[in-house]
Amino acid sequence: MAESSSILVIHHEPDRYFELLCSRFPSLHFYSARNDQEVQKCMTEVKPQILLSFRCDGVSTKAQTMAVKEACVAWVQGGGAGYDHIGDLDRIACPVSNCAGVLSKFQAETVIGAMLNLNFGFFRYQQQQQEKIYRKLPWQSLEGKKLLLIGLGHIGKAVAVNARHFGMHVTAVRSRLQDSPVADVVHTPDKLPELLPDADFVSLHLPYSEATHHFFDAMMLEAMKDSAYLINTARGNIVDEKALIAALREKIIAGAYLDVFSEEPLPATSPLWQLENVLITPHYCDAVEDWRERFAGFFADNLQRWLDGKVLHNLIKT
């Protein structure tokens, strides 16, 4: 790549990336696009060779998918592990990499925190606190509880490590049968009907695609035991949200922790807000305070590899 190449950062808050990137690569030209109009303008006038593309507020999926298909683009670095905001990889002509693994341990920290909260009942005590009720609630330890991980990528593995520290039994489901040092046992998805009724917690760690749209449906929810909890920090549309709301209302499952939703921001009209057995966070569970700098550092290392003609880290499409 020529030293005069230009890089476009697509994010509604790009400023915190620029200090690191500009200081490390003073000969390169960095631009930013905070909304659809700025994306269109940059792609027309700047014609950047590299995109650092984030799924973010202010920039639509339509604008992102348009940008990555432009002929001038020679490489797309996705911000985060997910890539559904840039569309079908098969329709992108250039290499694509992501930031999988950069924030995995922080998301895993949140997941284990949610399990502790749900299991001990901190949220129920908070409800009692608002009503000035001094009542002891029964609880069981996470030790010996059974965690079913659906997806065993960077995040799933980190969750498994955390869970085993608490003495949980970890069963993982992945597309290919392969032993894992972090899980007690690994199965393929066809075994889910047998595994779901035995799990105390089910945590989803799948990428979103057409194949995983509403993957976790009413039948899977009904297969869970009524004392079990569902955790979704992956993508909202992996779960059939209407079926989930019904399952929570009817106490088919005990509760859920949700960081992602079928529509984001979660509308004020969503019934999820009113359910007492749900913990809600705003798609931010892995966003440790310095996440921007961590992503910028990963991208900078990959950009140096690009300049040096080396194979990029985290290639998801060559």
The tokens for 317 are 């499409």
264 is known as an active-site residue: yes
Q: Of residues 11, 55, 205, 235, which has the active-site annotation?
A: 235
- Report yes or no: 200 and 226 within 8 Å, Cβ to Cβ: no
Q: Rounded to an integer, what distance in angstroms lies between the CA atom of residue 21 and that of residue 11?
A: 15
Query: DSSP states of 247-277 as a string?
Result: HHHTTSSSEEEES--SSSSPPTT-GGGG-TT
The CB-side HSE value for 78 (13 A sphere, CA atoms) comes to 27
Place of tokens 């502790």: 116
Burial class (CB in 10 A: 0-12, 13-18, 19+), 286: buried
Cβ atoms within 10 Å, residue 139: 11
**Under 8 Å between Cβ of 169 and 184:** yes
Using the 8-state DSSP alphabet, how is residue 236 labeled? G
- Is omega for the bond preceding 26 within 30 degrees of 0, making it cis? no
Q: Is 29 a catalytic residue?
A: no
Is the Cβ–Cβ distance between 252 and 240 less than 8 Å? no
- Active-site annotation holder among 283, 292, 294, 313: 283
For residue 38, indicate whether it is catalytic: no
Q: Which residues are catalytically annotated?
A: 235, 264, 283
